[in-house]
Structure 1
Amino acid sequence: MYFVEETIEVAVPVRAAYNQWTQFESFPRFMTVVKKVEQVRPALVTWTLAVGPLRREFQAEIVEQEPDSYLTWRSLERHTVHRGEVSFRPTSADGTAVTVRIEVDSPGATGLLGGLPRLVGRVVQRELRHFKAYIEGLGAESGAWRGTIRDGRVRPEEPKPPRSRVAHWPVG
């Protein structure tokens, strides 16, 4: 098992960074290893990754998602289980610190592929730089999904409080 954590600051507000991140199907536009993403359901995403001749497809479940804060996922495959989280924090410069944490539990990964955590860390760092260039280049998000997910289930939207009405009494 190994753990990777990388952070980058982007020069857009938290809402814009979060909104763009939720547009999973746009990831191939700026991430070099992500070749295709299909959002099957709000909490189920199919990913196709490729590096050179190696190609891999897997599904991931979004376990928790809180707008403008974080989302967590876990893979739904048997051979290489991974979990992760991306979080969004405001910075003092009205930007956003985006932090990606990935934990991989792969049989034999630590012995057979001892340098893998370092390699995955470099790839995550590079892809975060691509996200930064993409969102800062756009200047605004290209879309958004503002739903909340708990335990892999989409939560219904909280009812909005009723607007207060001011009674207008006839004068006279």
Structure 2
Amino acid sequence: MSTLEEHIDIGAPLETAWDCLHRAEIYPRFLKGVRDARSEGERRAHLDVDAGGRAQEFEVEIVDREMENVMTWQTTSGPDLAGTFSLLPIDREHTRLQARFEYDPGTIKETFGGPQGFAQAVAIERGVRSDLQQFKELVEAQGKAK
């Protein structure tokens, strides 16, 4: 299993970022390849994903550790993927999002296509950074709208 860890600072309160993480319907706005997403109860989400040019559906189980501002997720169908989002308050108006993504490189290649080896790791890193930047922009816009 490989692990990727990234973080980004967001110009919005922790509560705004936490709320956005838990609204599955906005996932397509910041997660590349997610075409549609919906919550299915408090602890599950359904994602329609464009994976390597093929439409796939993933079920995701979500577990919150609210007192720690941590959200973990794990696919329960589709490829075996997992991750953690941790929110850390910097001050009242700024939050750090730490993301951890766990994956098997062979599963990623099989599911999404693309390069192997080091090139694959670089592509995944670039994709996660882009998704985090999109999330930052979305959360900051939500914070300004309030």
TM-score under structure 1 length normalisation: 0.70
One of 120, 123, 144 as aligned partner of 1:119: 123
Mean alpha-carbon deviation: is it higher for 51-60 or for 91-100?
51-60
In structure 2, what is the equivalent of residue 66 of structure 1?
A: 66
Alignment partners' CA distance in 2, 1:65 and 1:48: 26
Q: 2:55 aligned with 1:95, yes or no?
A: no
- Inter-CA distance 12–125: structure 2 relative to 1 (3 Å threshold): same
Q: How many residues align?
A: 140
Whole-Å separation in 1 of the counterparts to 2:116 and 2:142:
38
What is the SS of the residue equivalent to 1:81? coil
Q: 1:138 aligned to 112, 136, 142, which one? A: 142
Compared CA separation, residues 141 and 61, structure 1 to 2 (3 A): farther
User: Counterpart of 2:82 in structure 1: which amino acid?
Assistant: R
**Residue ranges of structure 1 left out of the alignment (5+ in a row):** 143-172
The structure-2 alpha-carbon separation of the partners of 1:7 and 1:40, relative to structure 1 and needing over 3 Å to count, comes to same
The 1-side partners of 2:107 and 2:80 are apart by: 12
Q: Which structure: greater helix fraction?
A: 2
Q: Name the CA distance, whole Å, in 1 between partners of 2:34 and 2:60.
A: 14
Aligned to 2:112: none
Relative distance call for 1:55 and 1:95 in structure 2 (3 A) is same
Partner of 1:85: 84
Q: What percent of counterpart residues are identical?
A: 25
Partner of 1:33: 33
| Shift in CA distance, 47/91, structure 1 to aligned 2, threshold 3 Å | same
Q: CA RMSD in A?
A: 2.6
Q: Aligned AA for 2:90?
A: T
How much has 1:51 moved relative to structure 2? 5.7
Code of the aligned partner of 1:125: R
Q: Per-residue CA shift, 1:14-34, capped at 9, x if unaligned?
A: 111111111111122343322
Q: Which amino acid in the other structure matches residue 25 of structure 1?
A: E
Q: Secondary structure at the match of 2:140?
A: helix
